[in-house]
Amino acid sequence: MFEEIEIYAKENFIPIIRPKSRQILMDEVKKASPSNILEIGSAIGYSGLCMLFASSASLVTIEKDEGRANMARQNFGRYNVAERVQLINDDALKVLTNLAEEGLQFDFVFLDGPKGQYHKYLPLLTKLLVKGGTLFADNVSVMGLVDSTEPIAHKHRTMVVNMRKFLSDVSSSTQFESQILKVEDGILIAKRK
């Protein structure tokens, strides 16, 4: 679909959503038919483009890395969807706090930022997601480590512990009805009750 972006990402070691996960994401976006989408983790705009092409929604996307944010802007322009996108180059926790304070709400949230931060974002995302809205979180298996019974290497431990907390918080929440798909690096799909 966006082959030159896929090639660029591979050559430059920029993580983008994997093929099966991308298809599930696009199917969920089509099913939800959102008018506005929030994305945490723009990278170079690949998943944002996929969601925009699967819907007529507007997109608010957050990317901390300035170089990647600039590349995402270029890619949104190249595919003529820039007018549907508000790209915020800043720390996601700060931006989500501001959006929640402004009382903004979204029909669909795609969570693909720093894996160790998902649990910190959850209370804000709950406020930002409309009732009936969808939360789609990618990479919730964290390279298969979340379900592992083996000792976790020190460099991954905090991220894995935090992801387990996030998954536990979502599954035990009265606010969400959720499922985890064991596809590629794991997907959580949660509907706000």
Q: Which domains does the chain have, with CATH numbers?
A: 3-192 (3.40.50.150)
User: Which whole number is the average pLDDT over 6-16?
Assistant: 93
* CA 10 vs CA 15, 90, 140, 150: distances in Å: 8, 24, 21, 30
CB 132 within 8 A of CB 191: yes
User: Which whole number is the average pLDDT over 36-63?
Assistant: 98
pTM score, two decimals?
A: 0.96
Integer Cα distance of 140 and 145 in angstroms: 9
| 87-143 pLDDT tens trace | 999 999 999 999 999 999 999 999 999 999 999 999 999 999 999 999 999 999 999
Specify the range with the lowest mean pLDDT, choosing from 22-26, 67-71, 148-152, 183-187: 148-152
| 152-166 pLDDT tens trace | 999 999 999 999 999
Q: What is the pLDDT of residue 177?
A: 97
Integer Cα distance of 120 and 3 in angstroms: 34
User: Which whole number is the average pLDDT over 5-27?
Assistant: 95
Q: What is the pLDDT of residue 47?
A: 98
Integer Cα distance of 178 and 190 in angstroms: 4
Q: What is the pLDDT of residue 1?
A: 73
Find the helix or strand (DSSP H, E) in which 156 lies: helix 154-172
Residue 86 in this model has a pLDDT that exceeds 80: yes
Q: Find the length of the chain.
A: 193
Q: Residue 180 pairs with which residues in a beta bridge?
A: 188
